[in-house]
Amino acid sequence: MNVVLLFSTALLFGAASTTTGQEPPFDLVIRGGRVIDPETRTDRIANVGIRGATVVIVTDASITGKRVIDARGRIVAPGFIDILSGGFTPEGSRYKVTDGVTSILGMHGGPVNMTAWYDSLGRGGMLVNYGTTVGHAALRAAVGITDREKAATDLQLAEMLKLARQAIMEGAVGIGFGVQYTPGASEEEVLTLFRLGAEFGVPAHLHTRFLGPLAPENSVKGIQEVIADAAATGVSAQVVHLNSISVVQRGVETALELISGARARGIDVMADAYPWEAGSTGLESAVFDPGWQQRMTITYSDIELVKTGERLTEATFKQYREDGKPDGVVIHFVTKGANVAALTHPLVMVGSDGGILDGRGHPRGAGTYAKFLREYVREGRHLTLMEAIRKMTLMPAERLVKAAPVMRRKGRLSAGADADIVVFDLARVRERATYANPAQYSEGFDYVVVNGVVTVDGGKLADGAAAGRPIRGAP
């Protein structure tokens, strides 16, 4: 029955006679790999035929193409979708695509001017597809709020709504919040933007107001605000980097009880997480306001300066925080138990929360997906390969499809899907990025195809390949 259905689908795309030689060959054939598609639950040896930027057929039959990739002994899967990405530069996209990623989304908060942002990236050089949200923090800055401890006035909030509305009309795929970074933002301010999201059918993705296990202002309270606002407005809400919001395993488990219970009762809330035991932010941010040691259960030596790798002391912490210069830091504070509890839960997908810029950053910007496959599938066996691939592909695609209909063609590997594909050797996949040297390409992703263009070829970046396209909302 499956072969008949696939053959019928091929007819629709003019591919039925490919095996007889009566039609021109496919542009690209990926032959003999283990094809995994989480939408159809396909897991079998098959051949994939591609014309232009579209998958035309997945078949057991022999097919030919202008180029044939021998995928025997390798996994063939939809390209990974980083739903919580940084790295929106040609440099950053190189580290994404060599980690198996074909689409990146800045769901935790982007700019206000969507037209300028998309035009800038569209001038060339992006190796992967890209999209972003309008950011709550950027909206506050745009209306003149310079004090993070201040709430928006009624007039400022009205102007923020006007700007956010325009951004969504210009293609923002949601509204991103980093509420902990703007502690003065009132509950009404956040709820008002949720209402706008509901009006346009776009999601809200939030770094919650509080993090860590310390009551009363802990991650549980922050997640309760997200759930309440989603319940009141009907917005699809996402708690970003749940592992580093909750910090410890017990916190993650409580958060997931809240999220699961809310979802079971019709509230559309989910989460994402990354497989690293460290987060990253700016030393000048509100994360390090008084009480940070207790909130994150860490001390000065758990903070590492990104640009030098220096571990801080009380003296250097005060010096760098007070010098007025934005210093990026890595914070070693997330427990392994928190990560496992988050990433193995069925309502949690993978998002890196990182990117590489000028050769520096957190290693999650270059190695998240290799690390996830290595630790959670090959070595730890916490997840099946199908489950893991679903968390990196179909789950993020489905999360965004209402706001960005193009996502219906991503995160899948079947006829009609976009030809965003990764071919990898599970036995060899590993991250090379480290905290000391984050700008290192992952290994084991032998071929990555973006919109039909072979972008990683034989484990190396292909010369001149820059086939990334915009992912825009469609209000």
User: Please, which pLDDT band fits residue 347 given cuts at 50, 70 and 90?
Assistant: very high
The model scores a pTM over 0.75: yes
Taking Cα atoms as reference points, which of 322, 253, 330 lies closest to residue 298? 330
Q: CA-to-CA distance for 38 and 60, rounded, in angstroms?
A: 18
Summarised one tens digit per residue, pLDDT across range 420-466 is 999 999 999 999 999 999 999 999 999 999 999 999 999 999 999 99
Q: CA-to-CA distance for 211 and 243, rounded, in angstroms?
A: 10
* Inter-helix orientation angle 364-373/90-97, to 10°: 10
User: Please, which pLDDT band fits residue 123 given cuts at 50, 70 and 90?
Assistant: very high
Mean per-residue pLDDT for 374-399?
99
Q: CA-to-CA distance for 95 and 355, rounded, in angstroms?
A: 8
Model pLDDT, residue 323: 87
Q: CA-to-CA distance for 448 and 461, rounded, in angstroms?
A: 9
Examine the pLDDT at 113 and tell me if it is beyond 70: yes
Model pLDDT, residue 6: 40
Residues 434 and 440: beta-carbon distance below 8 Å: yes
User: Please, which pLDDT band fits residue 195 given cuts at 50, 70 and 90?
Assistant: very high
Residues 438 and 363: beta-carbon distance below 8 Å: yes
Lowest mean pLDDT, pick from 33-37, 260-264, 282-286, 383-387 = 282-286
Model pLDDT, residue 324: 72
User: Please, which pLDDT band fits residue 53 given cuts at 50, 70 and 90?
Assistant: very high
Tokens found for residue 216: 């009363």
Model pLDDT, residue 124: 83
User: Please, which pLDDT band fits residue 413 given cuts at 50, 70 and 90?
Assistant: very high
Q: CA-to-CA distance for 183 and 150, rounded, in angstroms?
A: 8
Domains and CATH numbers, the chain: 2-78+417-461 (2.30.40.10), 80-277+334-405 (3.20.20.140), 280-331 (no CATH)
Examine the pLDDT at 260 and tell me if it is beyond 70: yes
- In one-letter notation, the amino acid at residue 140 is R
Summarised one tens digit per residue, pLDDT across range 289-309 is 999 999 999 999 999 999 899
Q: CA-to-CA distance for 295 and 246, rounded, in angstroms?
A: 10
Residues 361 and 368: beta-carbon distance below 8 Å: no
The residue with tokens 């860490």 is 298
Model pLDDT, residue 2: 46
Taking Cα atoms as reference points, which of 31, 50, 84 lies closest to residue 392? 84
Model pLDDT, residue 18: 38
Examine the pLDDT at 23 and tell me if it is beyond 70: no
Residues 205 and 240: beta-carbon distance below 8 Å: yes
Tokens found for residue 26: 């496919």
Mean per-residue pLDDT for 166-182?
98
E strand intervals along 215-321: 237-239, 269-273, 279-282, 303-305
Taking Cα atoms as reference points, which of 101, 90, 229, 110 lies closest to residue 171? 110
Q: CA-to-CA distance for 145 and 197, rounded, in angstroms?
A: 22
Examine the pLDDT at 3 and tell me if it is beyond 50: no
Examine the pLDDT at 152 and tell me if it is beyond 90: yes
Residues 58 and 37: beta-carbon distance below 8 Å: yes
Q: CA-to-CA distance for 36 and 170, rounded, in angstroms?
A: 35
Mean per-residue pLDDT for 233-260?
96
Model pLDDT, residue 10: 42
Neighbours of 232 (CB within 10 A): 13
CA dist list (Å): 230 to 223, 284, 349: 11, 30, 19
User: What contacts 285, CB < 8 A, 6 or more positions away?
Assistant: 181
Q: Find residue 348's DSSP bridge partners.
A: 271
Summarised one tens digit per residue, pLDDT across range 393-402 is 999 999 999 9
Model pLDDT, residue 475: 78
Query: How confident is the prediction for the chain on average, in pLDDT?
Result: 94
Taking Cα atoms as reference points, which of 329, 412, 424, 428 lies closest to residue 378? 428
Examine the pLDDT at 151 and tell me if it is beyond 50: yes
Residues 127 and 98: beta-carbon distance below 8 Å: no
User: Please, which pLDDT band fits residue 24 given cuts at 50, 70 and 90?
Assistant: low
Mean per-residue pLDDT for 246-252?
93
Residues 140 and 208: beta-carbon distance below 8 Å: no
Q: What angle do CA 220, 221, 222 make, to 5 degrees?
A: 90
Residues 242 and 254: beta-carbon distance below 8 Å: no
Examine the pLDDT at 22 and tell me if it is beyond 80: no
Residues 66 and 24: beta-carbon distance below 8 Å: no
User: Please, which pLDDT band fits residue 4 given cuts at 50, 70 and 90?
Assistant: very low
Mean per-residue pLDDT for 259-265?
98
